[in-house]
Amino acid sequence: MQEVANLQRRQVRILKYIADPPFGVSMLIKYPAR
């Protein structure tokens, strides 16, 4: 079930990027989506 928890955490992170565009862009530049 670890993969499911990681997926949910990633979805929350993506939602945070959408909610805070400048932060999301800077994070995407630093940590490209794998």
pLDDT bucket at 11, cuts 50 / 70 / 90: confident
**Under 8 Å between Cβ of 23 and 17:** yes
Contacts of 17 (CB under 8 A, 6+ apart): 23, 24, 25, 27, 28
pLDDT bucket at 32, cuts 50 / 70 / 90: low
pTM for the whole structure: 0.38
Q: Which residues constitute the domain of residue 2?
A: 1-34
Contacts of 24 (CB under 8 A, 6+ apart): 16, 17, 18
Distances (CA, A) of 1 to 4, 21, 24, 30, 34: 5, 30, 27, 28, 20
Q: How many domains does the chain have?
A: 1
